[in-house]
Chain A
Amino acid sequence: MAPSKRKQSSEPGVIPGGFTALSLKFKADSGSCHAVCVKEHRVRAEKNSSRPLDRTLFALNIPPYCSEHVVRELFSQFGPIQSVELREKPGTTDPKESKLSKYFTPAQKEGFRVGYIVFKNSSSVAAAKSHPADMPLVVSTEERPVRTGLQKWVHQYSQSLVQPDKLQEVVDIFMQEYDKKKEEESERLKKEAEQQEEDGEGWVTVTRAKRGTKARPHSEVANQKALQKEDRKRKRKELLNFYTWQHRHTQREHIAELRRKFEEDKQRIAVLRAQRKFRPY
């Protein structure tokens, strides 16, 4: 976009709350625009090092046909871009998932998304924010057409055909790493176990290790099982209908049960009567 044009156009669409609305069109001849709201990224404590506070633009309402690549193209007019990250909801990412290969990343919802656009220079953020509202960004142009609809699905289908050897390779790499990690872990445990064993003179080093091999694994299920076992043991010892008071008690319970049923039935009838459910025809 030429800077001269920007001068002619009117004010950028500013919204209370610090956002600016940029309009976005799919094609140059499209009739209506989406409003993409942008703002400098600002959170109280950003742990994520990939989103530096001064250079990151936070964008809302990015239509589903804008991939990361398209967003990069669109916003590069405001300055060189370092990275683009699109997400369903604002928030931080789980670093573990991001490391996975493309075959194993779970499919994302293809809806409207929020984006974190990291520029190389902090001035670009301001440039984007001051972009006028009546100069829409255009997603698909002659030079870089964006696939949608049937074209996209046919492309997707071809992409989904996985080569077994490539997949196998990915699996092998992952499993090797996993095995290595496992080994390290067991190594560590072994070391801890060794520490707890008696040394030649009968001494045991007592450490503050969290989970020794000898310590029972604490789990909820095990806890409950133990409690239930106790219960059952107690029940087995109990005598039923042995003393007269117990017998009386059972009878009383029986009558109470009948009464409860009777009351329930009455209630049910009342409901049905209210709904006029007794008209046979």
Chain B
Amino acid sequence: MKRKTNGSATIDPEKEMEEAASSHSEGEDEGEDDGPTGAKRKVTETVSEDGVLRPLKLTRGELYKPPTAEELNQLKEAESLFHCSLLKMQMEELLKEVALSERRKRLVDSFVLKVTELLHTVPQTADVELSDLSWLSGGVKMPFLLVPKAVKGKFHMAPPAAVSLIGSYPLGTCSKPRVSVDLAVTIPSAVLHPKDALNQRYPRKRALYLAGLAQHLSSSPDIGTMRYSCLHGNRLRPLLLLTPPDKDSSSVTLRLHACPPPGFFKPSRFHPQRNNVRTAWYTGLSTEQPDAAEPPTPHYNSTVLGDLLSRAHLQFLSAIASQCAAFTEGVALLKVWLRQRELDQGSGCFSGFVGSMLVAYLLSTHRVSNSMTAYQLLRNCLHFLASTDLTENGITLAKEPDSTAPSLSEFHSAFQVVFVDPSGHLNLCADMTANTYKQVQHEAALSLQFWDDPTLDGFQALLMTPKPMIRTCDHVFQLCGLVKLQASCKKLNLLSELMDHSGNYVQTALPFILSLLQRGLGERVRLLTHSLSPDPEWLVDSEPPKHKDQPPLSFGLLLNPEIAASVLERGPPADSPKAAEFRQLWGSRSELRRFQDGAITEAVLWGGTSACQKRLVPHEIITHLLQLHADIPESSVRYTGGVLDELIRMGRETCSTGEEESLKVVQSFDDLSRKLWRLEGLPLSITAVQGAHPALRYTQVFPPVPMKLDYSFFGREKVSRALVPQEGKPCPIYITPVKVICHMEGSGKWPHDRLAIRHIKAAFHIRLGELLTKHHRYTCHATPTHLDICKDGLVFRVQVAYHREPQILREDISPEGMLRYRDNEEAQALEMETLHRPYLTSTLHGLQPQHSSFGAVCRLAKRWLGAQLFSGDISEDVADLLVASLFLQPAPFTPPGSPQVGLLRFLHLLSTFDWKNSPLVVNLNGQLTAADYTEIRNDFIASRETLPVMFIATPKDKKLSIWTKSGPSVQMLQRLIVVAAESLRVLEKQLMDPSQTQDVRVALRPPLDAYDVLIHLNPKQVPLLTQAVDPPHATFSRGTMPGSVPSCGGALPVIDFNPVGRYLAELRDAFGDLALFFCDPYGGTVIAVLWKPQAFTPQPFKTSQMSARRVEVTGEEARTVPNVEAILEDFCIMGEGLVKKVEPRSERWVV
């Protein structure tokens, strides 16, 4: 838009849009319209090379030129339809990404042509018995599980009657990745017999025909690898997969379907209540039964019918697509949406084909109009899915079904999900379980919610974020050893269903297991999902895999946090008719119980006293029910819901993960704050008592635990008789001071001078201590900066604050005598301590009752950060804020319902968030509006360079990101991202892959080879040793003994004495300019040192930069380099008694 006066310039914007919209044609027609290219040039100018957004500058002329009608329409549409035009443009870009390129299409076309030619040359063979496979040679096997083996009938190979493209490719809805093109090969009618639909004769002939084709094609050089697969995991519908040879092999997969000639079978034969597999044949027992008593075989019927109708479906869809311009794009978007949710593949999936049919249904019932855009189609599809329950009210595409077609109610009685095709005979969702459909519904409803939220990036949430089960569901469990399901089928008495599924016991048992679990879990879960078993693929010369060979079935639970952890399952009253049902479900676990309200009811009581045990009640329920009703032993249920809990377990013996301990600290604090409020005799009254410590918001990794002290272990201070550590003994137990801020009333009595305020505060500390000792007998210790109070075995560190003090610190008198305020570090630090941190603590404290797993997720996250040596860069407050964002803005997920899924999402957030270009907004208390979000964004972009690399905005801090000001640096953030991604990969693999041994601690062992020096510490002097990731077997007496702790009195314990912390602080003070020091604060026994490269380049001699350096004189010039030998020795000297060994690992310091 460089030209302003030119008439064509005014319509530039929509040219831009068109250009963006045109997905196929290369867009820029050369010639007269240099508008788009001109605009493009400008865009590339504003976008710098490093991909950082810069504030946009538009001239007045560009902004205020008169608009044309088209431009107005465009802008209006963007404003009203989308939150901004961004979403629209993003979708267009996405469509371009998934659409097939012209080159790819040409490749596909030529390959299809080649294969079609080859297929027509299939030679005729002689008639053989159906069970005779001797004519197959060259190692090609039949892609069919022959159960039972014997079957009557004749078969011979013959050239196909027709070969044609079906499915997504001719429709234009085929999309990347995994481009697969379906080719239907019609079996000539001479090979088939009208009665072949019976007893798997047709499916077997079909498999044989494919084998025959494979044998023929195997000699051709134009074909790459040949494999078999089967359509959506249905073993009755094998497919032959062909890829082009050599380098193009990954670009396309051709799937050969064999199908009967159209109209060969009468569709009415496949009524869901008809039987087409005889029991006598299937079981091999010749029981004389009349035909009517045979059980119906709806699933078998629909597989044959699906083959029969595939061409008709293509015709139907093409007719629809030709009327609606955006049909293909709409379907493509829907497919991306489904794929991100792992719903589009495997047995019983919501495939792209069903998706196209759904769009067609909406179009043909006029729920959407033909002129709608792809964006609107997707939205309407999701809305329809969210609001329509196909398990109750099925839909049909048949306009006027013939009289033989079954009714919807007949479909419902045979299938769980009903969506009838245009012919009126076939249920498109025959294999789908009700749970899968519920999952689709849940996802659709969730997506719509995110779409309507203006504060979210809907595009990311809907279409760009993958939702694997392990990261979506709160608890996940797997059934290993699927062969056990055979026994379940027997136990559940499912012979006729097994016959219907032609022996696929996994698919037979699945719906029954699901409904059993659904009944048992009831209100505890919001959603029970299961993985769709992937389509098996095998080479043409190997036997087809057995049913048990497929990967284990995974089930996902989305918990209802309020109820999920309840230990009591209260049933109906003992005399009600439902009681029997309840007893049947729970078996011997059900017992009569009398409750406080007087009712006597059936009830089941599950074990578990601590929060971490209660979280696993669903596990108990599942194993119990599966054992009782389906004969599945506990050993084949692999439950991953609490595997990560052991990382934050308190001590070795206790089975608590710290929730109870945190609660005790908070209760003790509440009591203290009440007592402080009530104190009398203070010169000024207390206005607020606020916690400023992670333990007071349930997020301390290892919350402080009261310990009884063994006084003989310690030395004594002479005057006050306070305990002091003794040299030569192991370091005493570490007692965490819990920080509390106590705001005093503002008054004229406060002095207006920084030093005087400091003294007055000290006097307050002394006075508070005296009063507390006098009234409540607490042991107190006042210092100028704080007051330590020992209460209930815990130590609270109270700091008195005066609200005007930061302001006074900022005061400054200018030379003209004008009073001005200048920000300085001291004031900021004080404000952080007395204002921001207490506020953050109370806000996050409020999150815990809303989301019961918040604290545990924070603690796991911080445990991980600590173990990976990031504690120095990501402070506790930042980590808590990051976790809070997972709960407050979970899109596209629901808020984490278990610590495990929380940690996984935390790692995912770290590894994928685009810190460079976007601020992370944590909407605490929901105080931010959409306008605030835009404001934050704009401010962020306007001053990106000066802001911290990790920008976190909160309602109280929209512009500065105070929490991340001091770190991490770019390099550390980069490393954090890499390590988080790797940890996530390792963890997810361990949790989902049963062949892996479960040792989740692997993700917490940092790689140490990147560091230059390792300082090994003496475990004896590391007080938090028991919290280490791999705690050593040796334990040290740290001056504690068993027994209960008195709530008051006693000597002042050793508070906040951690040699490791002091050593680290000294190292950083002394060598902070030369090196970085890393250590796991939770029991780490290694300090890793990384030299700073820039400090090791020789520098000219300067008085201000001489620390720990040595001088090298060459002629007149003096240069300094770090004095490494002396520094290494200093490491030992400064850590005398603590350091075991200093191990230099690299030779980099020999400059």
- Chain A residues near B (Cβ < 8 Å): 13, 15-17, 19, 21, 26, 30-35, 37, 60-61, 63-65, 89-90, 96, 100, 103-104, 109-112, 114, 148-154, 156-158, 160-164, 167-168, 170-171, 174-175, 178, 182, 210-211, 217-221, 252, 255-256, 258-275, 277-281
Contact = CB atoms under 8 A, between A and B. Distances in A.
18 contacts: A96-B755, A149-B1136, A149-B1138, A153-B1057, A154-B725, A158-B724, A161-B724, A163-B720, A171-B766, A175-B760, A178-B755, A217-B819, A256-B64, A265-B84, A267-B53, A270-B44, A271-B51, A272-B90
A267 B1059 contact: no
A269 B715 CA distance: 67
A220 B821 contact: yes
Contacts of A255: 67, 72, 75
A219 B820 contact: yes
Contacts of A30: 1129, 1133
Interface stretch (B675-683, B692-700, B1110-1118): B1110-1118
A266 B42 CA distance: 11
B633 interface: no
Interface stretch (B27-35, B384-392, B1000-1008, B1101-1109): B1101-1109
B1053 to A, nearest CB: 12
Nearest to A256: B63
A266 to B, nearest CB: 6
Interface string B1123-1148: 10110111001111111000000000
Nearest to A257: B63
Nearest to A110: B1069
B100 to A, nearest CB: 15
B611 interface: no
Given A269-B89, A280-B339, A280-B464, A259 B63 contact: yes
A157 B90 CA distance: 61
A156 B464 CA distance: 56
Interface in B422-450: none
A61 B1107 contact: yes
A211 B1062 CA distance: 49
B1133 A61 contact: no
Given A150-B1021, A150-B1059, A267 B56 contact: yes
A192 B715 CA distance: 60
B93 A112 contact: no
B1104 A90 contact: yes
Contact of A262 (B85, B766, B1113): B85
B1108 A271 contact: no
B89 A265 contact: yes
B126 interface: no
Contacts of A217: 819
Nearest to A258: B75
A15 B1133 contact: no
B1072 A281 contact: no
Contact of B1129 (A32, A149, A273): A32
Interface stretch (B218-226, B780-788, B870-878, B1030-1038): B780-788
Contacts of B51: 271, 274-275
B1123 A32 contact: yes
B79 A164 contact: no
A61 B720 contact: no
A160 B1110 CA distance: 35
A273 B93 contact: yes
B720 A161 contact: yes
A109 B63 CA distance: 55
Contact of A103 (B46, B753, B762, B1139): B762
Given A15-B1111, A270-B47, A271-B47, A280 B58 contact: no
Q: Which 7 residue pairs are nearest across A and B when measured between Cβ atoms? A: A149-B1136, A150-B1137, A112-B1107, A219-B819, A32-B1125, A256-B63, A265-B86
A64 B1070 contact: yes
Nearest to A259: B63
A154 B753 CA distance: 35
Nearest to B63: A256
Contacts of B75: 255, 258-259, 262
Nearest to A13: B1111
B755 A104 contact: yes
B43 A267 contact: yes
B148 interface: no
Interface of B: 13, 16, 20, 39, 43-44, 46-47, 51-53, 56, 58, 62-64, 67, 72, 75, 78-79, 84-86, 89-90, 93-94, 96-98, 177, 336, 339-340, 463-464, 466, 715, 717, 719-720, 722, 724-727, 751, 753, 755-756, 758-760, 762-763, 766, 769-770, 781-784, 816-821, 917, 1021, 1052, 1054, 1057, 1059, 1062-1063, 1065-1066, 1069-1072, 1101, 1103-1104, 1106-1111, 1113, 1116-1118, 1123, 1125-1126, 1128-1130, 1133-1139
Contacts of B44: 270
Contacts of A19: 1101, 1111
Contacts of A256: 63-64
Nearest to B91: A278
A164 B43 contact: no
A271 B52 CA distance: 7
Contacts of B1130: 26, 63-64
A178 B753 contact: yes
Contacts of A31: 1125, 1129
Nearest to B459: A278
A138 to B, nearest CB: 13
Given A151-B1136, A154-B727, A271 B917 contact: yes
A175 B722 CA distance: 29
A278 B1107 contact: no
Contacts of A258: 75, 78-79
A269 B86 contact: yes
Contacts of A252: 64
Given A90-B1103, A149-B1136, A175-B760, A220 B820 contact: yes
A159 B249 CA distance: 76
B784 A162 contact: yes
B1070 A110 contact: yes
Contact of A278 (B93, B1052, B1063, B1129): B93
B727 to A, nearest CB: 5
B783 to A, nearest CB: 5
A161 B753 CA distance: 27
Given A19-B1101, A32-B1129, A220-B820, 15 more contacts: A16-B1113, A26-B1130, A32-B1126, A32-B1128, A33-B1126, A96-B755, A111-B1070, A148-B1135, A150-B1021, A154-B725, A157-B725, A178-B753, A259-B58, A262-B78, A267-B47
A280 B1133 contact: no
Contacts of A167: 762, 766, 782-784
Nearest to B1137: A150
Given A35-B1123, A220-B818, A267-B46, A157 B53 contact: no
Contacts of B86: 265, 268-269
B1126 A34 contact: yes
Contact of A260 (B39, B56, B340, B1134): B56
Nearest to A113: B1107
B140 to A, nearest CB: 34
Nearest to A89: B1104
Nearest to B1135: A149
B1062 A153 contact: yes
A70 B602 CA distance: 80
B67 A269 contact: no
A271 B90 CA distance: 12
Contacts of A64: 1066, 1069-1070, 1130, 1134
Contacts of B336: 280
Contacts of A275: 51
A149 B1140 CA distance: 12
Nearest to A182: B751
B1054 to A, nearest CB: 7
Contacts of A152: 1136
B866 to A, nearest CB: 22
